[in-house]
Amino acid sequence: MDTRLTVIGTGYLGATHAICMAVLGYEVLGVDVDADKIDRLRSGELPFFEPGLPELLTKAIESGRLRFGTSFAAAAEFGDVHFICVGTPQQKGSDAADLSYVDAAVHALAPHLTRRALVVGKSTVPVGTAARLTELLRELAPAGPEVELAWNPEFLREGFAVDDTMRPNRLVFGVASEWARDRLHAAFRPIIDGGAPVVVTDLATAELVKVAANSFLATKISYINAMAEVCEATGADVQDLAAALAYDDRIGGRFLQPGLGFGGGCLPKDIRAFAHRAEEIGVGHAVAFLREVDAINGRRRARTVELVRELLGGDLAGFEVAVLGAAFKPNSDDIRDAPALEVARTMHGQGAKVRVYDPAAMPNAQRAYPELRYGANAFDVARDADAVVLLTEWAEFREIDPEAMGRVVRRRRIFDGRHALDADWWRAAGWEYRALGRA
Ligand code: UGA
């Protein structure tokens, strides 16, 4: 493949993109300002948990096609297409996205761009950012208008990052010229040949596709969780309700799983940033419902604490509570805006003696919340517990034998925050079983 790629920002998104592109046959240079991260990647160590990716990192390094560095001058010299993959977290004290890393990446790269090149934004940004960055690139790059900007939003899910990158359900190319479109085609040739459909748009539409997709997914989750609130008030069962809705393929069952709701580094901050940006440009009313989507999601966390308190007889103080799960979802070690940890911390704040176990997120959780106690496995944290609270639906928790766990706890009380367990099985083993949205 003669198109040479650079990937600026080697976090979750960038590292995955760089590794997969090298495996697909491209020469790739990954660049980051964090020298420590670069050293780890160079030595074949992936700084985060993602099934299948460590093996591909080794393979890519061994192929000689993947290199890492910290020099933007070297990146400009090396690459024909430069992917910007830095984070856009929520700003402190505001719902807006923090664009400082995106801006810093452009400021660092552009002054070295002395020949025709394509800069491709992959980060999730407020609509209008690409137009602003186009101007900035023209100003800062010695090659001036020879340097073009395109937007190529990324839809990968943590836990499925390799598959989502190698076999995406679509590629979106936001471009301002045919040349940029052709460059992007060249940069994704094997994936397009593999059957991925390409949607070519303008820059603003490409920026919007990403936030519109995440907003839709968040809305679907909050929709079923709003139904759970109604079920709780009426004695109906949200699991059965969701199952019945899912048979209608216009509705579909995916992202209709009721429970503790969404978290992570994407959905929560993306819907807030979108609502904020829409307000800025005078169309806040169009997406005002996203505020309610966020509020429904927050209420599930509060309701979980309330139901565990009820399970314990009205007070959390002094009770031993075993928490199963810390990551924002299974098959991830990511604890950003993790519903499980927010619930654990609230219960701890109300006097419960909380012990947490997660199959992958323990180091991250311990670093972020040293005030919580942790255990070595599910049975370890459940020892002498007055209640067991399942908050992230890892497969290993589904397989727990309620009889065996019943022998280590003080009281057989289980709260299933993710509808992950077979309620009948647990009840048959003498457990008091509670879940959101169910009688
Ligand atoms: C999400 C999107 O799914 C990706 O398409 C997107 O690329 C990514 O954000 C991003 O913006 O980078 P991710 O954050 O990895 O991916 O996680 P999801 O699998 O979407 O799950 C999000 C949250 O929703 C999790 O906390 C999960 O537990 C929750 N969820 C999901 C539910 O509560 N119910 C469901 O039915 C589905």
Give pLDDT tens digits for 137-155: 999 999 999 999 999 999 9
Closest C-alpha to 297, from 324, 323, 269: 269
Ligand 1 contact via 158 beta carbon (within 6 Å):
yes
Which amino acid makes up residue 227? M
CB neighbours of residue 70 within 10 Å: 14
Residue nearest to atom 34 of ligand 1 (CA): 257
Instruction: With cut-offs at 50, 70 and 90, classify the pLDDT of residue 19.
Output: very high
The yes-or-no verdict on residue 439 having pLDDT over 90 is no
Question: Ligand 1: which atom is nearest the Cα of residue 160?
Answer: 15
Which amino acid makes up residue 50? E
Ligand 1 contact via 419 beta carbon (within 6 Å):
no
Kindly calculate the radius of gyration of the chain based on its CA atoms and give it in whole angstroms.
Answer: 24
417 token code pair: 């925050």
Ligand 1 contact via 258 beta carbon (within 6 Å):
no
Residue nearest to atom 20 of ligand 1 (CA): 157
pLDDT digits (tens, 9 = 90+) for 229-258: 999 999 999 999 999 999 999 999 999 999
Pocket test for ligand 1, best of 211, 223, 254, 267 (most atoms within 8 A of CB): 267
Question: Ligand 1: which atom is nearest the Cα of residue 266?
Answer: 11
Closest C-alpha to 260, from 238, 291, 275, 243: 238
Instruction: With cut-offs at 50, 70 and 90, classify the pLDDT of residue 410.
Output: very high
For residues 438 and 65, give the distance between their C-alpha atoms in angstroms, rounded to a whole number: 53
| Residue 411: predicted pLDDT | 98
- 218 Cα–ligand 1 center, Å: 8
pLDDT digits (tens, 9 = 90+) for 381-403: 999 999 999 999 999 999 999 99
Residue nearest to atom 5 of ligand 1 (CA): 155
Q: Where are the domains of the chain?
A: 4-201, 237-439
pLDDT digits (tens, 9 = 90+) for 41-77: 999 999 999 999 999 999 999 999 999 999 999 999 9
Say if residues 28 and 57 touch (Cβ distance below 8 Å): no
Residue nearest to atom 12 of ligand 1 (CA): 266
| Residue 160: predicted pLDDT | 94
Active-site hit among 20, 85, 231, 266:
266
Ligand 1 contact via 263 beta carbon (within 6 Å):
yes
Q: Is 187 helix (H, G, I), strand (E, B) or coil?
A: helix
Residue nearest to atom 2 of ligand 1 (CA): 157
Q: What is the mean pLDDT of residues 115-134?
A: 98
Q: Where are the alpha helices (DSSP H) in 235-338?
A: 238-246, 267-280, 289-311
Q: Which CATH number is associated with domain 237-439? A: 3.40.50.720
State the burial class of residue 306 (Cβ atoms within 10 Å of its Cβ: 0-12, 13-18, 19+): exposed
Listed as own residue / partner, the contacts of 159-162 with beta carbons closer than 8 Å and 24 or more positions apart are 159/50, 159/51, 159/329, 159/330, 159/331, 159/332, 161/12, 161/16, 161/50, 161/53, 162/16, 162/20, 162/50, 162/51, 162/52, 162/53, 162/56
Question: Ligand 1: which atom is nearest the Cα of residue 213?
Answer: 5
Q: CATH classification of 4-201 is 3.30.1050.10, yes or no?
A: no
266 is catalytic: yes
CB neighbours of residue 168 within 10 Å: 17
Ligand 1 contact via 120 beta carbon (within 6 Å):
no
Helix/strand number for the chain, H first, E second: 19, 14
The yes-or-no verdict on residue 1 having pLDDT over 80 is no
Q: Are strands 4-8 and 81-84 parallel, antiparallel or unpaired?
A: parallel
Ligand 1 contact via 217 beta carbon (within 6 Å):
yes
pLDDT digits (tens, 9 = 90+) for 311-330: 999 999 999 999 999 999 99
Ligand 1 contact via 261 beta carbon (within 6 Å):
yes
| Residue 130: predicted pLDDT | 98
For residues 207 and 18, give the distance between their C-alpha atoms in angstroms, rounded to a whole number: 21
Q: Do domains 4-201 and 237-439 have the same CATH topology?
A: yes
Question: Ligand 1: which atom is nearest the Cα of residue 267?
Answer: 9
Cα 290 to Cα 163, 268, 384, 432, distances in angstroms: 29, 10, 42, 36
Q: Is 222 helix (H, G, I), strand (E, B) or coil?
A: helix
Q: What is the mean pLDDT of residues 4-16?
A: 97
- Global pTM? 0.96
Q: What is the mean pLDDT of residues 171-191?
A: 98
Residue nearest to atom 11 of ligand 1 (CA): 266
Closest C-alpha to 141, from 177, 175, 107, 174: 107
Cα 75 to Cα 105, 426, 429, distances in angstroms: 12, 57, 61
